[in-house]
Amino acid sequence: MAQMNMKEAIRDAMRVELTRDPNVLIFGEDVGNVGGVFRVTEGLQKEFGEERIFDTPLAESAIGGLAFGLGVQGFRPIAEIQFVGFIFEALDQIVIQAARLRWRSGGRYNAPVVFRTPFGGGVKAAELHTDSLEGLIAQSPGIKVVIPSNPYDAKGLLIASIRDNDPVFFMEHLNLYHAFRAEVPEGEYTVELGKANVVREGTDVSIITYGLMVHTATKAADQLEKDGIKAEIIDLRTVSPIDIDTIVASIKKTNRAIVVQEAQKSSGVAAEVIAQINEKALLHLEAPVLRVAGPDTIFPFAQIEDSWIPTPARVIAAVKKVMEF
């Protein structure tokens, strides 16, 4: 086992798959020579050559379409969209073209492509570099949306995504790239897509979350424990599809839940989680399920992002509210 941060684990996943499968390709803006603006693909071009890891001209729609076409040809492209805000340029190719290919062709073609993109606030990046757009993609049928919260999951989930025969949208939180190191096995292993992880066991309330917010929830749970409240934390890992079974099992135990996401409150992943809880576990609830999320505004400019992004204190407040309901 090696100690890796999330960036290294993601790079390692790509290296493993590039080695194993000659059909794996990586491309995007600036990913080649210097390894991308975050150096996630650093060194891979040297190792695997310019035919397999290459820079594209600056055109996201073309990046999406290239991935689609190469997928049709049997390749397994990993296309990097440099920052999440730029996926809009490629949205037609991602959510209309790639996500519909299997269905439109009656199964004749598929798009085994991975779109990787960094996202997430708290790093004082420029406008449109940070927004949490997972809800937008998750609403599109035919594409899976994966958001790892730690290096081990990141590597296993990315390998599983590359091997998946349908398109996967893989989102990497900027604030997790270098946040900490963890044990990551060398070589191949996968973490199943669509399977949540109970990262902390508890009996009093379920905190359902993903990505960076897993860590915010953990901080809150540490504090809550001092007050005698045992929170169970579920890391969704895949926000589309959602692993409702793991959530329901947890709620059966705790009878209370909150959902924490960095994204804006309305119409997103948290709303979907709660809708599914209503469908499958309503009678196990002792209190309404609350959301802790960003407000329904544009992701704010850097100056006040720290007060915009959900904090442990806001998570604690929501937990107390459902406990006292």
Partner 1 sequence: MTRVPYEVYTEDVEALSVLSPDGEVINKEMMPDLTDDQLKEIMYRMVFTRTWDDRAVNLGRQGRLGFYAPVSGQEATMIGSEFALQKEDFVCPGYRDIPQLVWHGLPLYQAFLYSRGHQHGGQIPEGVNVLMPQIIIGAQILHATGIAMGFKLKKQANVAITYTGDGGSSEGDFYEGLNYAGAFKLPVIFFVQNNGYAITTPFAKQTAAKSIAHKAVAAGIPGIKIDGMDVFAVISAVQQAAERARKGEGATLIEAVTYRFRPHSLSDDASKYRSKEEEGQWNEKDPIARLAKYLEKKGLWTEEDTLRVREEAKATVNEQIKKAEQTEKMTIPGLIDSMFEVTPKHLEEQKADFE
Ligand X SMILES: Cc1ncc(C[n+]2csc(CCOP(=O)(O)OP(=O)(O)O)c2C)c(N)n1
The catalytic residues are: 129
> Rule CB under 6 A: is residue 29 a binding residue for ligand X?
yes
User: Hunting for tokens 């269905």 — which residue is that?
Assistant: 103
Q: Which residues bind partner 1 (CB under 8 A)?
A: 29-30, 33-34, 37, 55, 57-62, 85-86, 88-89, 124-129, 265-266, 295-298, 300-305, 307-308, 314
Q: Which does 87 bind (CB under 5 to 8 A by kind): ligand X, partner 1, none?
A: none
With respect to ligand X, which residue has the nearer C-beta, 82 or 261?
A: 82
Q: Is the peptide bond before 241 cis (omega within 30 degrees of 0)?
A: yes
Residue nearest to ligand X (CB): 86
Residues present in the chain in total: 325
Identified binder of ligand X from the candidate list 54, 62, 86, 189, rule CB under 6 A: 86
Nearest to 79 by CA among 49, 96, 59: 59
Q: Are 143 and 271 in contact (CB under 8 A)?
A: no
| Cβ atoms of 315 and 216 closer than 8 Å | yes
3-state secondary structure of 184: strand
Cα three-residue angle 285-273-221, rounded to 5 degrees: 70
Q: How far is the CB of 39 from partner 1 (least distance, A)?
A: 9
Nearer to ligand X, 127 or 186 (CB): 127
Nearest Cα residue to 24 out of 32, 15, 11, 35 = 15
CB of 289 to partner 1, least distance (A): 16
Q: Alpha-carbon distance 257 to 231, whole Å?
A: 9
Query: Which listed option, partner 1, ligand X, none, makes contact with residue 179 (CB within 5 to 8 Å by class)?
Result: none
**Quick one: tokens of 245?**
């079974």
User: Which stretch in 81-89, 227-235, 252-260, 265-273 sits in contact with ligand X by CB under 6 A?
Assistant: 81-89
Min dist CB 112 to ligand X, Å, is 24
* 124 versus 252: smaller Cβ distance to partner 1: 124
CB of 95 to partner 1, least distance (A): 17
Interacting residue with ligand X among 34, 43, 50, 58 (CB under 6 A): 58
Q: Return the bridge partners of 24, or none.
A: 76
For 148, phi then psi, to 5°, come to -75, 155
Q: Which is nearer to ligand X, 62 or 179 (CB)?
A: 62
Q: Does 109 bind ligand X (CB under 6 A)?
A: no
Tell me: does residue 134 bind ligand X (CB under 6 A). Answer: no
CA distance 286 to 70: 51
60 binds ligand X (CB under 6 A): yes
172 binds ligand X (CB under 6 A): no
Structure tokens at 97: 């073209």
Q: Cα(214)–Cα(210) distance, rounded to whole angstroms?
A: 5
Residue 305 interacts with which of partner 1, ligand X, none, CB < 5 to 8 Å by class: partner 1
Closest CA to 123 of 208, 63, 37, 235: 37
**To the nearest whole angstrom, how small is the minimum distance from the Cβ of residue 62 to ligand X?**
11
132 exposed, middle or buried (CB, 10 Å; 0-12, 13-18, 19+)? buried
Shortest reach from residue 19's CB to ligand X, in Å: 28
Cβ-based nearer residue to ligand X, 84 or 318? 84
Q: Which stretches of the chain bind ligand X, using CB under 6 A?
A: 29, 58, 60, 82, 86, 89
